[in-house]
Amino acid sequence: MRYNERELLSLARQPAEKAAEILMRVPKKGTPFFFAVLKKRLVKLVVNFLFYFRTDEAEPIGALLLEHCRITKEEENVFSISFIEEPERKYCFECDSEEQCQEWIEALKRASYEFMRRSLIFYRNEIQKMTGKDPLEQYGISEEARFQLGARRQ
């Protein structure tokens, strides 16, 4: 799939929501899960992308778009990211502490655009129930497709 790599690289240089040096294991095709080695990476969360770098390099090795993903607590200090269409294929991260692990899990769960959209629809609904008014109307954006209540279309 073609994509605008230059802009994605530029995004990787933006200030991070969260960044840390973490041990990471990338699932490799054909390699059993437990054979893949944990490597120290600089992991950086920017909007709904998780970039990972070799610790001394300016350009990321890779990027994960965090939509429709599942963040799972694995064993102590470890969490994983997997994607809906391939739940067995896990990106594993081993943190320095349980606290760091929980912080990352919380941050990543909220990091997707779709999560924000669901939050917005929820708040909009709640405010409408309490006031009888659509809170988006005063800004003239109540008809925007991205704010519609649960509409599923393609």
Partner 1 sequence: MKLNERSLAFYATCDSPADNAGFLYKRGERHTAYHRRWFVLKGNMLFYFEERESREPVGVIVLEGCTVELCDSAEEFTFAIRFGGTKSRTYVLAAESQAAMESWVKSLSRASFDYMRLVVRELEKQLEEMRYGMAGGCAGGCRGSPSSWKPKPSELERSLERPLALPTVLPKENGCAVWNNASGVTRPPEASGCDEDAGDGTLRPPPPPPRRRASSTEVGSAVLESPSSFCRLHEWYGREVAQLRRDWLERQRGPRP
Chain residues binding partner 1 by CB under 8 A are 1-11, 14-15, 47-48, 59-65, 67-69, 83-86, 106, 110, 113-114, 116-117, 119-120, 123-124, 126-127, 130-131, 133, 135-136, 138-141, 144-148, 151-154
Length, in residues, of the chain: 154
Neighbours of 83 (CB within 10 A): 16
Distance CA 47, CA 53 (A): 17
Nearest distance, CB of residue 19 and partner 1, angstroms: 13
Nearest distance, CB of residue 127 and partner 1, angstroms: 6
Nearest distance, CB of residue 138 and partner 1, angstroms: 7
**Which one, 75 or 136, has the nearer CB to partner 1?**
136
**Which one, 6 or 75, has the nearer CB to partner 1?**
6
The burial class, CB within 10 Å (0-12 / 13-18 / 19+), for 25 is buried
**Position 23, amino acid:** L
Name residue, tokens 């809906």: 84
**Which one, 7 or 75, has the nearer CB to partner 1?**
7
**Which one, 32 or 152, has the nearer CB to partner 1?**
152
Distance CA 38, CA 36 (A): 7
Nearest distance, CB of residue 88 and partner 1, angstroms: 13
Nearest distance, CB of residue 11 and partner 1, angstroms: 5
The structure tokens listed for 79 are 């969490």
The structure tokens listed for 136 are 């988006």
Virtual torsion, Cα 49, 110, 106, 74, nearest 10 deg: -70
**Which one, 49 or 77, has the nearer CB to partner 1?**
49
